[in-house]
Amino acid sequence: MLEFLEITVDKFTFKVAADRFYNSEGVWAKPEETLIRIGLSDFLQQRSGDVAFAEVKPVGTALKAGDEVAVIETIKVNIILTSPVAGKVVEVNPAMETAPEAINQDPYEAGWLAVIEATDWETERLNLLDPRAYFARMKVEAEQEVKRDDGQKT
């Protein structure tokens, strides 16, 4: 059973899965033995909007941390997602081709993007945010967005 850190800001509730790491833009990295599964945080998917298309780099692509790993087109924006770790893409979620809405429906499980064979996970995880650190960062960003939206309404 997944455990979450959770916060409600205005009418939105955001969850941060407690069993993985995050880069600053909200891409999570979950170690699974020797491999790293990646995906979008709940906050990132909610702020981005309903996903229309997701294009993930194909299996075999070599990545450095910070390289583009996927492009997501939503009803609001196109966003380039960067890899939280260096390594090689060894699996892409087939749902990204057929049902990318899984990102919105289940960002921490069925909506995963890819699995990466990390080059040096033990070192790179030090550059990522643990769940509490990401939660604190996300909270600030969420509150700023709500304030900005309120400002636009008045």
Partner 1 sequence: MTGRKPKTRVVIVPCSGIGKTYGTVSREAAYDVTGDLRPAETQLVALSMLVLGDETARSAVAGNPTITIDGCKLACATKMVRESGGVVAQDFAVLEVYRRYKQFKPQGIAELNEAGEQLAHALADEIVGIVDQLTKDSSDNIQSDGGQIG
Q: By CB under 8 A, name the binding residues for partner 1.
A: 50, 52-53, 73, 75, 104
Nearest distance in Å: CB 53, partner 1? 7
d(CA 14, CA 28): 14
d(CA 73, CA 48): 9
Nearer to partner 1, 53 or 120 (CB): 53
Nearest distance in Å: CB 50, partner 1? 6
CA-based nearest residue to 77, from 102, 97, 52, 95: 52
d(CA 150, CA 154): 6
Nearer to partner 1, 130 or 150 (CB): 150
Nearer to partner 1, 10 or 50 (CB): 50
Nearest distance in Å: CB 75, partner 1? 6
**Residues comprising the chain, all counted:** 154
